[in-house]
Chains A and B, each alone.
Chain A
Amino acid sequence: MIIELGHFALILALAVAMLQAGLSLTGAARSDPNLMAAGRLAALAQFALIALAFATLIHAYFVSDFSVANVAENSSTTKPLLYKLTSVWGNHEGSMVLWVLILALYGAAVAWFGDAMPPRLCARVLGVKALIAIGFLVFILLTSNPFLRLSPAAENGMGLNPILQDPGLAFHPPFLYLGYVGNSVAFAFAVAALIEGRVDAAWARWVRPWTLASWCCLTLGIAMGSWWAYYTLGWGGWWFWDPVENASLMPWLAGTALLHSAIVVERRDTLKSWTVLLAILTFSLSLVGTFLVRSGVLTSVHAFALDPRRGVFILVLLFIAIGGSLALYAWRAPALEPGGIFAPVSREGALLLNNLILASCCATVFIGTLYPLFLDAVGGPKLSVGYPFFDRTFVPLMIPLLIAIGIGPLLAWKRGDLLGALQRLWAAFAAVIVAMLIALYLSHGGPVLSVLGIGLAAWMGAAALVEFADRVRLFRAPWAEVARRALTQPRASYGMTLAHFGLAVTVAGIAASGFQQQSIALVHLGDALPVAGYTLRFDGIGKHEGVNYTADRAEFTLLSGSRVVGQLAPERRFFPLQQQTVSKTAIHTNFFADFYLALGDPDGKGGWAVRAYWKPLVPFIWIGGVIMAFGGAVSLSDRRWRVGIAARRAVKGALPAGRSRA
């Protein structure tokens, strides 16, 4: 009965979404405040209904109701409670409901904070969002309905893929979707602006917090996914250039570009049509990612069950959403007036460089990901391009961006002083040399590229700090003055420093992967395996019973000389329900280096294959991601986004450029 309630709520949500689209768009066209207010109510109602539908689905998983086909196919009674609940989004149908739930959540948030915005802009944004919701609700109800009953009910469920039964993966999809789907807000703003034919500083100021919020979630989501791959897949890799990983990276690159170009629109009232295009493309890339994952067009380890009917349906949705918005763009964007002009060397110029490079990187990933599809169409051989392609294209493209990131924030608007900026960065140059010397010394002359990479990371990190010190006039003003300035800096500028510093931390982690040491060996009880100056002693192996698996658990002691550093217990878990073996790696970390151990197959004569790695600075990759997301959150808390201030400015209309920040 409860699951039928959820089904009904979802159908009702579709009706409400249709109502929301009609009311909001007509209301905006006629400037009718009553219709527009009703549209905002509909957005809240739509969220409440989808939340109800989602809650019934969670309930079905909670009580293991195997008369529901979706539950029977993806859950089982022998599973820990956490994974029963996270299985809701571990499958195609359930994850689509989560997708529309988040879409509606953002819609409701726009409606809730809508008082601060011009009512017509708010109504158009909600109208566009409702159109997207209609498309995906119809998709769920017609091709991917999780509320269908199974008759007769199954005895027990088929369970969740064991590799997905992991806390890291349990919370990775919600964050990823919060990121993906959050981009729909910027998209809706862009389409609304094209309909109105007006983009100004005020528009950019409303778009930016939404973009920032989804960017933070996407950053965390990608970092979590990469961390999960690192400790689960057992090879110590953290990024595989898999189509599905790339599908999340592309909106992130485009979204990062959008964050930066929106600053230019806000402050200088220029780059308008480019920013609108970026907003459209960012969400389009999220949609394309959804299509790639769920259509089976590309082979991927992450792909959901293949169903051509679904693929065609999503393609039609893509065609309407992306094709429609780009057609609107082609028609209306030329009317957006170009704004202030600027010299190539200026803050605007630096942000434009950032955009050009990020867009090129995004295009590279796009081509690399879809290459098999393109090549096959012209009759070429079937192959997929892996990390060699991306290493040779993506990485060289990123390097100029990473160098420029240190200089850009020091340039003035309109016309900057490059030489002056470089002079102020003398401390960063010094940091580069010191960091490279330390890296060379510690790695005994390790790989050149890694040493240079560490230098690059030091440059970015030091430059971010120098820029901040410059702003608070550290060492140049009395301490009281410095403290006053530090306290009155806008949160957004703290956010930028944190985000840029976080990126430096991540780059350091990536660069240091060249220093890793590994040992792959067959070990017997009592053997000592030397790895990177440490010794790994094989103390024992035994059987271990989990809730829904049995495991071989090995006990190792990590020694430095004769001092015990830690205990590691890698496992090979066998899940009888799915007849699948999953490796559970053991990691000993001190946040500066990981000791990573994976248990392989036994040779049947008492020997066990093990893969042991020493990975310096690898935790920095994810710590940097968290710092970046935290920087975004700090920036999001800046007072200029707050409702009251935005509202007062909205009344006054667009401000002259360049006055909005302290």
Chain B
Amino acid sequence: MTWRRALYFLPLVAFLALAAYFLRGLAPGYDPQVLPSVLIDKPAPTFDLAGLKSATPLTNRDFAGEIVFVNFFASWCAPCRGESPVLMDLSRRNVIQLYGIDYKDKPEDAIKFLQEFGDPYRRIGVDESGRTAINFGVYGVPETYAIDRAGRIRWRHVGPLTTQVVQTEIMPLLKRLGAS
């Protein structure tokens, strides 16, 4: 076969390579929705939010020197109801320090929501305008961030927390952060 003839195979070869990529993209476990935060290892955004159920505001200064988890939720968000048993379990076992940020929500609705599904949070800030969420780069509720002792974001999870995420991500993360 001459080189000229071989050239005509080029489109076919290129397509086959492409098809292999497509096949890989369809493989189970591949999830284009997983988006890393650009804020990973960067200082958490500063905020100063009115407290829900308490007069003290919630600010990022409250976290100083501690490993904390910040969970964005809302009463109108269905997946938040789904993850609430997992959060309640974490708070009962006192595994993590969990703070909540109520996203684009009416305080009275949020209080009703917490009465119904339980309140796993140490304290809650009200982000009615959603500005704090924008600064964190929240895609949608629920979303959870881990902030280390130095006030840097170390981990982010989009979507509801599950026991599997707790086992495979949060526990190892705590070990890592505790050790360093």
Q: Cβ of A382 and Cβ of B19 under 8 Å apart? A: no
Q: Cβ of A312 and Cβ of B26 under 8 Å apart? A: yes
The residues of B that contact A281 with a CB separation of less than 8 Å are 11
Q: Cβ of B4 and Cβ of A334 under 8 Å apart? A: yes
Name the residue among B4, B11, B18, B21 with the largest chain A CB count within 10 angstroms. B11
The residues of A that contact B11 with a CB separation of less than 8 Å are 277, 280-281, 326, 329-330
A544 to B4, CA, bound (A): 69
A392 to B174, CA, bound (A): 42
The residues of A that contact B18 with a CB separation of less than 8 Å are 370
* Nearest opposing residue in chain A for B35, CB measure: A382
Q: Cβ of B8 and Cβ of A311 under 8 Å apart? A: no
Q: Cβ of A297 and Cβ of B16 under 8 Å apart? A: no
A315 to B4, CA, bound (A): 30
* Nearest opposing residue in chain A for B16, CB measure: A323
The residues of B that contact A277 with a CB separation of less than 8 Å are 11
Q: Cβ of B24 and Cβ of A299 under 8 Å apart? A: no
Q: Cβ of A322 and Cβ of B25 under 8 Å apart? A: no
Binary interface encoding of chain B residues 131-167 relative to chain A, with 1 for a CB under 8 A from any of its CBs, else 0 = 0000000000000000000000000000000000000
Number of A-B contacts (CB under 8 A): 71
The residues of B that contact A603 with a CB separation of less than 8 Å are 129
Query: Within 8 Å of chain B (Cβ to Cβ): is A283?
Result: no
Q: Cβ of A334 and Cβ of B23 under 8 Å apart? A: no
Using A298-B32, A377-B24 as known contacts, say yes or no to A318 and B12 having CB atoms under 8 A apart: no
A381 to B40, CA, bound (A): 13
Binary interface encoding of chain B residues 98-112 relative to chain A, with 1 for a CB under 8 A from any of its CBs, else 0 = 000000000000000
Number of interface residues of A (CB under 8 A): 37
* Nearest opposing residue in chain A for B33, CB measure: A299
Number of interface residues of B (CB under 8 A): 26
Using A281-B11, A326-B15 as known contacts, say yes or no to A295 and B25 having CB atoms under 8 A apart: yes
A131 to B36, CA, bound (A): 43
Query: Within 8 Å of chain B (Cβ to Cβ): is A72?
Result: no
Query: Within 8 Å of chain A (Cβ to Cβ): is B28?
Result: yes
The residues of B that contact A326 with a CB separation of less than 8 Å are 11-12, 15
- Determine how close the nearest CB of chain B comes to the CB of A129; give it in whole angstroms: 21
Q: Cβ of A382 and Cβ of B34 under 8 Å apart? A: yes
Q: Cβ of B19 and Cβ of A381 under 8 Å apart? A: no
Query: Within 8 Å of chain B (Cβ to Cβ): is A374?
Result: yes
* Nearest opposing residue in chain A for B36, CB measure: A382
Q: Cβ of B8 and Cβ of A334 under 8 Å apart? A: yes
Using A334-B8, A381-B36 as known contacts, say yes or no to A373 and B19 having CB atoms under 8 A apart: no
Other A-B pairs, 15, CB within 8 Å; known A330-B8, A333-B8: A284-B15, A297-B22, A297-B26, A298-B32, A318-B19, A318-B22, A323-B12, A323-B15, A323-B19, A329-B8, A330-B11, A374-B21, A382-B32, A382-B36, A604-B128
The 3 closest A-B pairs by CB, nearest first: A297-B25, A326-B12, A330-B9
On B, residues with C-beta under 8 Å from A are 4-5, 8-9, 11-12, 15-16, 18-19, 21-26, 28, 30, 32-36, 76, 128-129
Residue pairs across A and B with Cβ atoms less than 8 A apart, 8 shown, are A273-B8, A284-B15, A311-B26, A326-B15, A334-B5, A373-B22, A373-B24, A604-B128
